[in-house]
Structure 1
Amino acid sequence: METIAKVRIRYHRDNESISRIARKMNLSRVTVRKYVDYDEDVPKYSKRKPRPRPQLGAFEETLQQWLETDAHLPRKQKRTARRLFEGLQKAGYQGAYDSVQRWVRAWKTTVRPGLHKAFIPLSFRPGEAYQFDWSSETVILGGVTTAIKVAHFRLTYSRMSFVRAYPRETQEMVFAAHQAAFLVLGGVPERGIYDNPKTIVDVVLNRPIKGKERTFNHRFLALMNHYLIRPTACTVAAGWEKGQVENQVGNIREWFFTPILRFDNFDQLNAWLWERCQERAQAHAHPEQKERTIWDVFQEEKALLRPFQATFDGYVEDRVRVQSTCLISVDRNHYSVPAEWVGQWVRVRRYVDRILVLMESAVIATHPRYMGRNKTTTDILHYLNVLERKPGALRNGLPFQKLPRPITLVQEHLLTKAGGDKAFVEVLLAARDHGMEILETACAMALEQNIVTVTVILNLVHRLANPLPTPPQQTPEALHLKEEPTSDCNRYDTLREKRHVH
């Protein structure tokens, strides 16, 4: 309308020619003539006639059926326009991709255009439920850029948030996150609302009449039973059912992880995250009870959470076989077990921070857990029985590559002499009964005395392992002197005289 007004003013008031107006305003003369004769309040445009689709027309019905079928699938399972185009090509379509893309876009905007954007508002009682989800973030830990997983909890009534970072999204991390959340939040809600990940849900069954039924993972159910929580799994691809925590994921990323964080380890990072959660709750108003902060409403809800005492033993157990090298494979890493269990099947419990190896109900090995890949963790004590029979493995054996410094110095000293291998093996065998710490101390003492022999070191080991009883600090009453003796130097001369007389 603005352009029409300018054209009409130039022509009717300023008496400019159509050619001049067209040249000055960069318009065609046909357009200028139309605007000059224009006398309507609102411009009218002729509706474009629908273009014929000689190639796509025969496949429109097939394409519509595919789109209607995909409309009932989760978002990640729906086919894109490119995948639909490839499917039509297999069915004989010879047209261009652009035609398919335009047809799909038009269909999505005309078929129930606003229904998928409508939601039902949700309301929760204090202490009724929490929502749980994961997110992927990037931080710098110990100077290394690291991709981490962050567990998100959200109390649905008070909107109190709790987030905790872990190396991965495995089931033992799920257990550890729940224990940490319930501990700092001060109790347990009645119900938990979850997605459908494999760590929580084993199977989602489609029932035409009953709807979608879920088979929860048995270890996850053990967690729920321990804390007396009723788990609820959301409908597949229906994130709005736990919309609070879905929104929290994006907000936390903006509030906490932008710019990129730098910490030495996970403990420092998690302590900082919980401090920030508390600061945000104390500084922001509740979205519904605007006269109160989230922290104030959380204090009200906290009093209604169910208390708990014992924590859940959050491990994931596997059954593995001990290799001939006394190693077991756990999560793409290797850990040693005592040599007597070679060839046996053992049970391995994976925790967030450690690995436990059990035979029946007895723990036969414990190791700190490594979250990387292709690392071998060994314990010298697991190989001493083998070393006693095969002392030649001492020089290049992997378990003996990183001995404590005093023990390494003793090894270097003994290996310079004939029979040094067997002598050092005899020294190491002392750790089988008394432990590596006592052996390390004995070796350090021998080096200080500059007497590095097997006999001296073993003697020191036994003295450290079996110390002499310390004398009592107070003298018993029966041993107290009744009369303090007095010094008499003349008594010595008297005794000499008596001996001289004889």
Structure 2
Amino acid sequence: GEVKLEIDGKLKTYLLAVFTLPYSNYRFARLYESESQVCVLDVHTKFIEHVDFIPAVFVYDNMRTVVKSFVGNEKTITDSMVNLSNYYQFRIRLCQARKGNEKGHVERSVEFVRRKAFASQYSFTSLEEAQNHLLKTLKRLNSRDHHEHKQSHIELMEKEKEKGQKVTMAPFDSADLIECLVDKYSTIVINQNHYSVPEGHVGTYVKAKVGAESIKLFIEGCLVAEHPRNWGVHQWEMNIYHYLDTFKKKKGAIAQSECLRQAPTQIKNIYNDHYIGKEKEFIELLFYIKEK
């Protein structure tokens, strides 16, 4: 489902992924900025990690990230979902088109969770704060008694857990692995967004592990950088510590740089309060912080 939230002063539509267990009516939900395949896989791993067991069957409406094609009444499941179901050993069942009675309680859950979590509060400073608010709301809802069984949803979920398949494997890795060329700005480009790489690697190829929430960069098998995934277009994710040698040679460039604008608030406050006009000492401090 979709939910409109104001994050850091900007109103934007986010995607709300919801799972509901049929017996206990226990609900799990998470916010995403995209409905891409990697996000759908990611929310499955987070749900299974959260409930700590693997349900035998997952029932889906005909989402394009689950159903690859329709030919008459025959439906083909996407390769990624087949890989996920094979990894966790659960079965996939697809609803029939225009049969709302087959998915009633989960269809209701999307509207229910959205209303309970975001009807009264929709403005947050960050997506992480919105996620925490959603988790607190779900914890409160799941602590209430089930209307029929007169036990809390959490207690009923524990009964389902006893009969479910135990999680014995590591979480499924839903990230894509791609190879990128480092450009003259010491960045790589993924989906029209730039991500900084430690300087000294211009013109070389790095491997990027592109997940739903983060991007990890590897050179010769070693992790050299990690950035939050940016779902915008033509955005720059810069780490000030990746450019210290350059700033050492061009001290005046740091004040107006994108790196300083994106630096942690404590770093910006230190510069504005104590180091304006003393860029040389500020860069020495950054070297010290990086080492320590």
The TM-score bracket by the shorter chain reads 0.7 to 0.9
Which of 312, 320, 327 is matched with 2:187 structurally? 327
Corresponding position of 1:363: 223
Cα displacement string for residues 141-188 of structure 1 (whole angstroms, at most 9, x for unaligned residues): 445434221111011233222222233323333233223322332311
The SS at the match of 1:341 is coil
Provide closer, same or farther for how the CA distance between residues 247 and 307 of structure 1 changes in structure 2, counting only shifts above 3 A: same
The SS at the match of 1:318 is strand
Corresponding position of 2:90: 229
Cα displacement string for residues 462-498 of structure 1 (whole angstroms, at most 9, x for unaligned residues): xx98xxxxxxxxxxxxxxxxxxxxxxxxxxxxxxxxx
Cα displacement string for residues 122-151 of structure 1 (whole angstroms, at most 9, x for unaligned residues): xxxxxxxxxxxxx10123444543422111
Partners of 1:281 and 1:293 within 8 A in 2 = no
Corresponding position of 2:76: 214
Which of 172, 187, 190 is matched with 2:38 structurally? 172
Partners of 2:116 and 2:137 within 8 A in 1 = no
The SS at the match of 1:153 is strand
Cα displacement string for residues 280-312 of structure 1 (whole angstroms, at most 9, x for unaligned residues): 4454545xxx35346253332122222215223
Corresponding position of 1:204: 69
Cα RMSD over matched residues? 3.6
Partners of 1:148 and 1:167 within 8 A in 2 = yes
Which of 138, 146, 150 is matched with 1:292 structurally? 150
Partners of 1:356 and 1:366 within 8 A in 2 = yes
For the pair 1:148 / 2:7, whether they are aligned, the reply is no
Deviation, 1:400, is: 6.0
Corresponding position of 1:343: 203
Tell me how far apart the structure 1 counterparts of residues 180 and 242 of structure 2 sit (CA, whole Å): 17
Partners of 1:379 and 1:399 within 8 A in 2 = no
Aligned ranges 1:245-394 → 2 under 5 Å? 245-286=106-147, 290-293=148-151, 295=153, 296-309=155-168, 310-359=170-219, 361-383=221-243, 391=249, 393-394=250-251
Deviation, 1:356, is: 0.9
The SS at the match of 1:334 is strand
The SS at the match of 1:323 is coil
Residue identity (%): 22
Provide closer, same or farther for how the CA distance between residues 439 and 292 of structure 1 changes in structure 2, counting only shifts above 3 A: closer
Corresponding position of 1:244: 105
Partners of 1:380 and 1:400 within 8 A in 2 = yes
Provide closer, same or farther for how the CA distance between residues 412 and 275 of structure 1 changes in structure 2, counting only shifts above 3 A: closer
The SS at the match of 1:157 is coil
Greater strand percent: which structure? 2
Provide closer, same or farther for how the CA distance between residues 212 and 387 of structure 1 changes in structure 2, counting only shifts above 3 A: same
TM-score w.r.t. structure 2 length?
0.76
The SS at the match of 1:412 is coil
Aligned residues: 282
Tell me how far apart the structure 2 counterparts of residues 439 and 245 of structure 1 sit (CA, whole Å): 49
Provide closer, same or farther for how the CA distance between residues 320 and 298 of structure 1 changes in structure 2, counting only shifts above 3 A: same
TM-score w.r.t. structure 1 length?
0.48
Partners of 1:159 and 1:294 within 8 A in 2 = no
The SS at the match of 1:303 is helix
Provide closer, same or farther for how the CA distance between residues 232 and 317 of structure 1 changes in structure 2, counting only shifts above 3 A: farther
Please tell me the residue identity of whatever aligns with 2:79: N
Cα displacement string for residues 225-245 of structure 1 (whole angstroms, at most 9, x for unaligned residues): 332222333345544433321
User: Structure 2, unaligned stretches of length 5 or more?
Assistant: none
Tell me how far apart the structure 2 counterparts of residues 376 and 272 of structure 1 sit (CA, whole Å): 28
Provide closer, same or farther for how the CA distance between residues 185 and 381 of structure 1 changes in structure 2, counting only shifts above 3 A: closer
Tell me how far apart the structure 2 counterparts of residues 235 and 321 of structure 1 sit (CA, whole Å): 45
Partners of 1:205 and 1:214 within 8 A in 2 = yes
Tell me how far apart the structure 2 counterparts of residues 196 and 407 of structure 1 sit (CA, whole Å): 53
Please tell me the residue identity of whatever aligns with 2:111: G
Q: Which has the higher contact order (CA 8 A, sep 6+)?
A: 2
User: Structure 1, unaligned stretches of length 5 or more?
Assistant: 1-134, 415-423, 441-463, 466-502
Cα displacement string for residues 244-278 of structure 1 (whole angstroms, at most 9, x for unaligned residues): 21122233334443344344444443344344435
- Structure with bigger gyration radius: 1
Tell me how far apart the structure 2 counterparts of residues 227 and 395 of structure 1 sit (CA, whole Å): 54
Provide closer, same or farther for how the CA distance between residues 294 and 199 of structure 1 changes in structure 2, counting only shifts above 3 A: same
Tell me how far apart the structure 2 counterparts of residues 178 and 150 of structure 1 sit (CA, whole Å): 13
